[in-house]
Amino acid sequence: MPPASDDAALPLVPPPLLKGRGTSSNPANRFEHQHSVAVDDGWGSALEDKPAPKTTVTPDTSRTVIARNDSPDIPFDQSLNPYRGCEHGCVYCFARPTHAWLGLSPGLEFETKLLAKRDAARLLEKALRRPGYRCQVLVLGSNTDPYQPIERQERITRSVLEVLAAFQHPVAIITKSALVTRDLDLLAPMAAAGLASVGVSITTLEPSLARTLEPRAASPQRRLDTIRQLAAAGVPSAVLASPMIPGLNDHELERILEAAAEAGATTASMLLLRLPLETKDLMEEWLATHAPLARDRVLSLIRQTRNGRLNDPEFGTRFRGTGPYADQLQHRFRLATKRLGLAKRPWTHDTTQFRPPPAPGDQLSLL
């Protein structure tokens, strides 16, 4: 006989581990009024193996594609993200909570239910042709990766770059993917004109850690190879040693910077782990699953750098943290980048070359 139907007394069923996914959980987003959990009712139905979810891609019907910000601690004013959600599945991703705005879960649905802005190139061109548009560096990948796996088929990032190249518009790209080298035919000429740069994020050099922390991103070695290819093509590249997770990967900081400098990176940045909203619970679950012996120490160190909390959203400190541990990490970063020649200021992109090309039907200029 199954147990009595007192749900509070029924044992919760933990989500099964899913190979190639950052999380197996699908927590309800913060805007929902009802939450559900799986329990073992005695019949075994909740314990049955279910097929792993497949990635689905839905058209995003946004009417604009340039996002603008006035944050005092972000060094750019405008960005474009070709995709919502990210198949890379990085469990720590600060962008996960944005999926809740779509009525989706910041958990597994963030990495399996993706939205593609297939009209991005047309909308971008329309925005760049507006009489009042003021040219500033456009960042691709500020929220989700523009070269995540679905870009191979969708080619939205490629089409956006084609527009930027035609308009001689400066661009800075942030990615974890080796796929960016596919577009060297566009990026190399733009870089030669001072119009393009690429930041490659390297969180760890340990393949086993990367496989669970960032399951569908390029391996650490492929990211280093990507920096080499960018450097060989004359495209300025930065290494983003981020996020640094206290007690988990921060011991690798100097090794990451050394490997990137050897590969050809010319500058570097570092951000401390951020765990906004639902990301906190997902990170705690990941630690309990993949690093149970380090879990308590990692969480304690995070709190030491975040004023006793797991996240500090304050401008000025949210990216670097506070307290002795965070200060020591910043000191190590400064010493290493100075020693390796990576302490240079980020490149200056040339905004003076911006020229909208003639649109179909336009009268040609006599000058």
Query: Considering only CA atoms, which of 347, 321, 327 is closest in space to residue 73?
Result: 321
How confident is the model over 338-363, as pLDDT tens digits?
999 999 877 789 999 999 999 877 76
Identify whether 259 is part of a domain: yes
- Confidence band, pLDDT 50/70/90 cuts, at residue 5: very low
How confident is the model over 170-211, as pLDDT tens digits?
999 999 999 999 999 999 999 999 999 999 999 999 999 999
Report how far residue 146's alpha carbon sits from residue 151's, in angstroms, rounded to the nearest whole number.
7
Report how far residue 77's alpha carbon sits from residue 197's, in angstroms, rounded to the nearest whole number.
16
Give the pLDDT mean for 237-262.
Answer: 98
pLDDT of residue 245: 98
Half-sphere exposure of residue 65: CA atoms within 13 angstroms, side-chain side = 27
Give the pLDDT mean for 246-275.
Answer: 98
Report how far residue 220's alpha carbon sits from residue 183's, in angstroms, rounded to the nearest whole number.
20
Question: Do residues 271 and 302 lie in contact, with contact meaning Cβ atoms separated by under 8 Å?
Answer: no
Give the pLDDT mean for 158-164.
Answer: 98
pLDDT of residue 39: 59
Identify whether 193 is part of a domain: yes
Q: What b-and-e string marks burial along 125-163, b requiring 16 or more CB atoms within 10 Å of the CB? A: bebbeeeeeebbbbbbbbbbbbbbbbbeebbbbbbbbeb
Give the pLDDT mean for 218-245.
Answer: 98
If you write DSSP's letter for every residue of 239-253 in order, what string do you get? EEEEEE-TTTTGGGH
pLDDT of residue 29: 76
Residue 169 sits in a domain of what CATH number?
Answer: 3.80.30.30
- For residue 137, which amino acid is it? V
Identify whether 357 is part of a domain: no
Strands (DSSP E) contained in 109-154 are 113-116, 138-140
Tokens encoding 141: 């990948």
Identify whether 262 is part of a domain: yes
Residue identified by tokens 């930041």 is 199
The pTM of this model reads 0.91
Could you check whether the bond before residue 243 is cis, i.e. omega within 30 degrees of 0?
Answer: yes
Region for 247 from its dihedrals, namely left if φ exceeds 0, alpha if ψ lies in -120 to 50, beta otherwise: left
pLDDT of residue 345: 78
Average pLDDT across the chain, whole number: 91
Report how far residue 215's alpha carbon sits from residue 211's, in angstroms, rounded to the nearest whole number.
4
Q: Which residue has the higher pLDDT, 187 or 365?
A: 187
pLDDT of residue 30: 83
Identify whether 20 is part of a domain: no
Number of domains in the chain: 1
pLDDT of residue 328: 98
The whole domain housing 206 covers 51-340
Q: Work out whether strand 78-80 and strand 67-68 pair parallel, antiparallel, or are unpaired.
A: antiparallel
Least reliable range by pLDDT among 186-195, 238-247, 319-328, 355-364: 355-364
Identify whether 287 is part of a domain: yes
Identify whether 77 is part of a domain: yes
How confident is the model over 31-88, as pLDDT tens digits?
877 666 665 566 665 555 667 789 999 999 999 999 998 888 888 899 999 999 999 9
Identify whether 355 is part of a domain: no
